[in-house]
Structure 1
């Protein structure tokens, strides 16, 4: 089994914690990371408070290969992510000439003024590189093992596209799903047997209630298709022996 590369995600914004805005970035970043052969190991939501951002960034970047942040890099007073990450790294904030040029060109192209507020998005922690943003003028930022990205999901998606294939990772994860009308409580021992027999597979159980019956979808994730498929076959065989009819692909 190849080395496991991990990433963490810090979602920054009072609007997420208040429930006013629903986060969509966890799912899309996790899926993108899987394709890169990197596992999203943990995610944390923090308020627009510098001390909270600094603590989360330093804790998570230290125990993962990569750290992604979303939110707080716009032109308003509460966009403090760049300053907080610079503080976490112990470096000053500087104006990146490349980002400044991108912003001036972008606003000129759409007939808007490059106001001081808009140009503030050219500020980066010292030593940072830029992440291309094909959607709007403000680039993302890479500094050490930290990737500072927009909070708006479709802009985040554009930045991820630009990063595709640039990060070192292991083998991409593949998944196989088996579903059955089998309540979790009735097959807990069976699942433990399957997990023990297939240590290279991560098996997740997701219960549902459908057509008046309880059931579960079982998702097996592994670094190789054959490994995941063998686990799925073993689980299906055991479910069938226990009196449940499994469905590959889920229910």
Structure 2
């Protein structure tokens, strides 16, 4: 059971993962979990992830569907030097602007390539939509960019991570999400009615329940999440009362902290 966060000051985000190789299974995505953890730690709630093909119209549709709904939309993949790297053109199309080889991007790339090595293929990575701000890439020097509330990053995990570090200081941040995790030695079906009642009374805290099977016994992890420490304490207290009432065996499975 999961309930979306209804806190009004939450800064939200969506992620679009772009690439045929992800959908075909040829490449395992390593970016989603990193981005989710990173954003949570800085007070941005990742609320939706979509995976789309390297097809310009599909990228445009995803970007235009998500950017009005969330504070930020992040994309990964499709900004390399090959013909199927169409993300830059798709973002420009979504915003109705043109694309050009940006002198700032060329200068950044010259730090990693000599003039002779800046081939037409590599210069494709210096094509930036009009009006976009660059996102630094100290690893391979070909930059990402930010246009409006859309942040465009590479798909290679190491490069994506340094781009995320580079853009993070510019972003609006909300209150970091806090969490508590409780392990209950009872099947989820036995725990669920009580959790539903607690959730109905505490809309400002997300309550997630996750069944597990260990040593031939069923159990349930309950994870409480909120930006409000006092609200988290209240729900933790209500859950403790439920555990005592039902005589469940339970324990804190991990230390309190950021989720």
Q: Which residue of 1 aligns with 2:145?
A: 141
Note the 1:1-251 alignment, pairs <5 A: 3-108=9-114, 113-249=117-253
Task: Please give the alpha-carbon distance, in whole angstroms, between the structure 1 residues aligned to 2:214 and 2:113.
Answer: 51
Q: Per the alignment, do residues 19 and 112 of structure 1 end up closer, same or farther by CA in structure 2, a change over 3 Å counting?
A: farther
Count of residues paired in the alignment: 249
Task: Please give the alpha-carbon distance, in whole angstroms, between the structure 2 residues aligned to 1:68 and 1:22.
Answer: 18
Task: Please give the alpha-carbon distance, in whole angstroms, between the structure 1 residues aligned to 2:233 and 2:26.
Answer: 41
Native 8 Å contact 2:206 2:225 kept in 1: yes
Task: Please give the alpha-carbon distance, in whole angstroms, between the structure 2 residues aligned to 1:227 and 1:6.
Answer: 20
Q: Per the alignment, do residues 134 and 236 of structure 1 end up closer, same or farther by CA in structure 2, a change over 3 Å counting?
A: farther
- Of residues 162-171 and 15-24 in structure 1, the stretch that sits farther from structure 2 once superposed is 162-171
**Secondary structure of 1:106 counterpart:** coil
How many angstroms does 1:209 deviate by?
A: 1.0
Task: Please give the alpha-carbon distance, in whole angstroms, between the structure 2 residues aligned to 1:2 and 1:54.
Answer: 28
Native 8 Å contact 1:11 1:70 kept in 2: yes
Which runs of 4 or more aligned residues in structure 1 lie more than 4 Å from their structure 2 counterparts after TM superposition? Answer: none
Native 8 Å contact 2:208 2:223 kept in 1: yes
Larger relative contact order (CA 8 Å, sep ≥ 6): 2
Native 8 Å contact 2:42 2:174 kept in 1: yes
**Secondary structure of 1:161 counterpart:** helix
Q: Per the alignment, do residues 247 and 39 of structure 1 end up closer, same or farther by CA in structure 2, a change over 3 Å counting?
A: same
Native 8 Å contact 2:101 2:123 kept in 1: no
Pairwise CA RMSD: 1.8
Native 8 Å contact 2:178 2:225 kept in 1: yes
Task: Please give the alpha-carbon distance, in whole angstroms, between the structure 1 residues aligned to 2:220 and 2:185.
Answer: 6
- TM-score normalised by structure 2 residue count: 0.90
